[in-house]
Amino acid sequence: MEFAVYKEQLMKTKQRLESVLQELYLLLLGGTIFGTGLNASSQYTDYALANLRELTGFPFKTNSVKAEGIASHNSLAYLSSVLKLLALTLLKMTNNI
């Protein structure tokens, strides 16, 4: 019974990690200091993303509202929260075992 609970907790945490990854793949590439793309080549973002995808193998894409990513660190806070949940889950499991 307990191991079924552990499995479920880990599966939910895995889903949360996969969800946060989708946000982390959104990059602010515009070719300017603020990443908006104002006064930069319209091809810069596509070229940079294609090269980053090729080099890393990660499915990076551009944030459709670049200013949102510049104005907040919500994705990093979300990642931090998910990692804390994973740590709590593992701590509870080890304490029970």
At 47-97, the pLDDT tens digits run 989 999 999 999 999 887 777 777 788 889 999 999 999 999 999 999 988
Q: Is 54 left (phi over 0), alpha (psi -120 to 50) or beta?
A: alpha
**pLDDT: is 8 or 62 the higher one?**
8
How high is the pLDDT of residue 31? 61
How high is the pLDDT of residue 52? 95
How high is the pLDDT of residue 12? 96
Q: Are 22 and 28 in contact (CB under 8 A)?
A: no
pLDDT at 40 over 60: yes
The whole-model pTM stands at 0.74
